[in-house]
Amino acid sequence: MAAERPADVEDPVGYFLQDMTYHGKTDRTRGAYERVLREFESFLGDPSRNPTGTAKSVDDASHRDCMAWIHTLRNRAVAPSTVATYASYLHRFYAYMAQVGVFDSNPMGLVMEEMDEKIDSNPARREVSVSQMREFVRDIRHPLEHALVVTLLKTGMRVGELCNLDLRDLSLSVDTPVDGVSTRAALDGRGPSVYVSSEPSVGMATNGETRTASNKRKRSTVVPVDDEVETVLLRWLAIRPDTESPAEPLFVGTSSGWGTRLTPDAVHHIVTSHAADAGWYRRGGDREENVTPHYFRHFFTTHLRDRTGDRGIVKYLRGDVAGDIIDTYTHNWGDRVRETYESNIYSLL
């Protein structure tokens, strides 16, 4: 029996959805596919939105049309996992229609090969919007705790890296906030920034103090900070207790462990206590469900990557790249990294 050709199918999306019914797919699954496919169909049919400037049907779509639609999703700040899911629906639609002979080819094949977004394999991951996180931050009153949370959220550093920061690792737009402490040479001319070193490791002495946490960066990184981070850090430094450590740790205890460097366990307790108050943490929950310092790193990565569209810079800021890649960003730091960061970092205060 000859396969149907495009001219024989007036509504390709409806044809595909009907076949999904025959294949035993649930109403929920069909509904999800229909929403996505009809949205794409509407995009193609609107000359003001599609790249050709003329109305098209789904059977006439090229790989550039598909890429353009994916691009509109990114511009709408759709989560990467959702972008990947929508793309997979479109890919499945075209692959099936080509397989049964209704369409000649699958324009999504090449698009899927070039996409960076991946479907989140763990649907239990908590999704927190920027506005929700802003409310969460607003409810934290203690200057130390407020500074810890905002710094983690806006730099993407690991909790151990945060705990290992010394005053010399901080450069602000004002004069050195603590007498007798000069910043690292690597921060000269960089503007308000923090230096996240790759050196500290558990049991080893760094800057005259034996460390209780390790940094996991492949290379040391200069991370820009914006006005909000500078504001909370200056507020914290105004009340920061004196310390006997020659390293002058940035974050020290204000209750138990007065004046001594905070540990990852202490920071974890601070964050999860506030998260529990917000209903974002339960004892026994996994790290995908609970909001912890590690979750803040995920939040930073997801939202900044979605806003910039530049995975390289986000990887640089996270300290996930080494060698010539990080050297490229270090060389272009003032021209690209800070500008990209300041133009896209979300507001929390």
55 within some domain: yes
Does 79 lie in the same domain as 178? Answer: no
Predicted local distance difference test score (pLDDT) of residue 6: 45
> Is the Cβ–Cβ distance between 158 and 264 less than 8 Å?
no
**161 and 69, same structural domain?**
no
Q: Is 1 exposed, middle or buried (0-12, 13-18, 19+ CB in 10 A)?
A: exposed
- Strand (E) or helix (H) holding 225: none
pTM: 0.65
pLDDT at 3: 42
What's the rounded Cα separation, in Å, for the pair 214 and 217?
Answer: 9
Do the beta carbons of residue 247 and residue 165 sit within 8 Å? no
> Which CATH number does the domain housing residue 72 bear?
1.10.150
In angstroms and rounded to an integer, the radius of gyration of the C-alpha atoms of the chain is: 25
Q: Which domain holds residue 179?
A: 130-343
Q: Residue 4 falls within a domain, yes or no?
A: no
pLDDT in tens, the chain (349 residues): 334 444 577 899 999 999 989 888 888 888 889 999 999 999 999 999 888 889 999 999 999 999 999 999 988 877 887 888 899 899 989 988 988 889 988 999 888 877 776 655 555 567 888 899 999 999 999 999 999 999 999 999 999 999 999 999 999 987 656 666 778 998 888 889 999 999 999 999 999 999 999 998 878 889 999 999 999 999 999 999 999 999 999 999 998 889 999 999 999 999 999 999 999 998 887 766 789 999 999 899 888 877 776 667 788 888 876 555 555 555 555 567 888 888 889 999 9
CATH classification of the domain holding 224: 1.10.443.10
Residues 202 and 287 in one domain: yes
